[in-house]
Structure formats: structure tokens, C-alpha cells
Amino acid sequence: MRAALLSVFVLALLPRPALTDVTGAVNDHVLPAARHFAETADALADAATADCRAMSLRPAYQDAFDGWMGLSHLGFGPLEQDGRALTIEFWPDPRGLVARTVRGLVADADPVVDGPQAFAEVSIAGRGLMALERVIHGDNADYGLDDYECRYARAIAVDLAAIAADIRTDWAEHAQLMLTAGTADNSRYLSAKEPEQALYTALLSAIEFDADQRIGRPMGTFDKPRPKSAEAWRSDRPLRNIRLSLAALRDLAIHMSDTPIPVTETAFETAQQTAMALDDARLAGVADPQSRLKIEILQQQIRAIGDAVRGEIGGGLGLTAGFNSRDGD
């Protein structure tokens, strides 16, 4: 019923059928995002090579995580390959595997951190941004230059930079695949519609991830809020990640549409204003009934973006979301 109403509304609003601009999305959204993340990860590795103590690493860590938020929603292709997205950020982590793995490596002073090739074999729960957060924002973050944690932090940073560089290289190649969809020798994208669907699926699943995981996890239930299940709360990033994610998703939505998307833009604007107005970096307010309501409203507004995208971009283009790697439990 509502689907039909919205379609009518959208059709009335648009002067002509919307077109997907894969070229624009790839050149002006995806490739710059991959480049930016590679640069920030590289700067983190440089900082760690110069001085691997926590205080020295924290600013570059924030920048690299910011860079990741510009890219992480593009979960297919280069980020899917070798499980790179999960290696860069292993979250959510309901079984506390990051804590356990980091503790294990530190307790054993495992020499695996001393060679980049060996380190690449380590469990992803001991690598990436979430493991590094444990080291530089955890209980033993006052480690010194000669401590194991210092070498470990450096190993994580260097590993991240290497992954980010590979992603940047592979995206250059994957971009060509997306732009030559439907040509005879392209076995990845068999028609022009397939890269459109890949971008559309990425957009929708990232919106769901913001609502269900980034907000839903700390929300828990009214009787049992779980602020410590928020993403990267030790480094004060839960709200920042949501703001950056919404900005990145809005940028993708704009670039992938050839025509104006006023319904979607309004939905983004509403949610982004709510997110900017919140003054609660760690979303700790989930435990307080008054501030919890504001966070819940943000969650609903983000879900409303999904509805707008489905109606305006999906409906307008005859696109349907494909399967995404987070389907399942």
C-alpha cells in the first residue's frame, strides 16, 4: 500500500526517469575514498614507526579510522577479497574475541609481531583498528618504547597500511570492471545493471548497519542497555562513526544518481541534523531514558533514509537490493 503511494509520489516529483551514474560514483566517490583511506593508514604507519607509544599514535589513529568510515560501506569487491573489511575492523564482536586475542598475544609476548608476513597470519581479532584500540586506549596504554605493546602497535599499523595500499590498487582495477560492465570479456559484471545493483546494495546495507548495529547494539533493550557494546567507545568514536558514515552514504547516494534525489536528501538531512545535535560521543546516553529517546529517534530517522532510498533510487531505477555479506544471523 505504502510502496505504491511512494512510487506515485516519486514519479510525480521527477521530471524524467532517474539514471544511475556508475561512472560518477566510481570516479568521484569510490576512488577518492580508497585513496584517502590509504593515505591516512600510511600516516598511521609512519607515526608508529617514528614512535609507537600510545600518546603518539592516537591522533593518527583517529584520522585513519575517519578515513575508514569513508570507505567501509563499499563492502564488495576489493574489501570483500581476503576478508579485508573484517580485518580492518573486526566489529561487532559479541564474544569479546578482540580482547581475548590481544590479551593472549601480549601475555605470550608472541614474536609473530616482528615480521609483517607472519603478522598477516594472525587472527583478524588481533589485527586492525579494534585490536589497535585495545592497545593504545586499553588498560595498559601507558606502555613504554621497549615494551611488547609498542612493537605490537607498530605491527598493526604497518599491516593496516599494507592492506589499505592493496585496496587502493585493487580498486583501480575493480573500477574498470564496473565501468566495462556487460562487455564480452567481463565475467564479473554481466550487464550494466549489475554494478548499479552492487552500489545500491552497498548503500542500503550500510544504512541498515548504522541503524541496527552502530545504534542498535548499544541500545540493547530498555531494561538492559549496553553502552559498552558501542563501536570503538574506548576511543570516543561511536557518534563520530555514525556522523561520518551518514556523510559518506549521502555522498554515494548523490553520486550514483543522475537526477535529483530530494526525498533521500531530506531524509539524510534530518538524520544528520539529529546526529550533529547529539552531545554524547560514546552514546552512553542509551542508559538514560531521556537521552535514550533522542538516540532512538536518530535510529528511526536512519531507517527512514533506507525507505527513501528504496523508493526514490531503487524504485526509480528498477533496482532491487542483492544479497549482502551481512545477511544471515
Partner 1 sequence: MKTTLAISALACAIAAPALAGKPEVVANYVAIAHASYDDSLTTARELQSAIDALIADPSAQNLTAARAAWKAARVPYMQTEALRFGNAIVDDWEGKVNAWPLDEGLIDYVDPSYGGASDENEYAALNVVSQKSFTLSGNQLDAAKITPELLSDTLHEADAIEANVATGYHAIEFLLWGQDLHGTDHGAGERPWTDYAQGEDCTGGNCDRRAAYLKAAADLLVSDLEWMTAQWAEGGEAATALTADPDAAISAMLTGMGSLSYGELAGERMKLGVMLNDPEEEHDCFSDNTHDSHYYDGIGIRNVYLGEYTRVDGSVVTGESLSSLVAAADPQIDASLRAGLNDSVAKLARLKTVAEAGTSYDQLLARGNQDGEALILAAVDSLVSQTRDIERAVNVLGLQDIGFEGSDSLDNPDAVFQ
Q: Which of 94, 146, 277, 279 binds partner 1 (CB under 8 A)?
A: 94
> Smallest distance from the beta carbon of 122 to partner 1, in angstroms?
7
From the number of C-beta atoms within 10 Å of its C-beta (0-12, 13-18, 19+), residue 186 rates as: middle
The least CB distance from residue 151 to partner 1, in Å, is 18
DSSP per position, 4-34: HHHHHHHHHH-SS---B-HHHHIIIIIHHHH
CA 55 to CA 73: how far, in whole Å? Answer: 29
Closest approach of Cβ 274 to partner 1, in Å? 10
User: CA angle at residue 91 from 71 to 201, to 5 degrees?
Assistant: 45
Q: Of 247, 249, 246, 245, nearest to 257 (Cα)?
A: 249
Member of 58, 186, 216, 220 binding partner 1 (CB under 8 A): 220
Could you tell me if 71 and 171 are in contact, meaning their C-beta atoms sit under 8 angstroms apart?
Answer: no
Single residue of 86, 165, 179, 284 touching partner 1 by CB under 8 A:
86
3-class DSSP assignment, residue 75: coil
In this chain, which of 17, 32, 59, 83 binds partner 1, going by CB under 8 A?
A: 83
CB 112, CB 105: distance < 8 Å: yes
Residues of span 228-247 touching partner 1 by CB under 8 A: 228-229
Specify the residue, 35 or 76, whose C-beta has the smaller distance to partner 1.
76
Residue 121 interacting with partner 1 (CB under 8 A): yes
Give the total of residues touching partner 1 (CB under 8 A). 49
Interface residue list for partner 1 (CB under 8 A):
1-3, 6, 80, 83, 86-87, 94-97, 99, 121-125, 190, 193, 197, 220-221, 224, 228-229, 297, 300-301, 303-304, 306-308, 310-311, 314-315, 318-320, 322-329
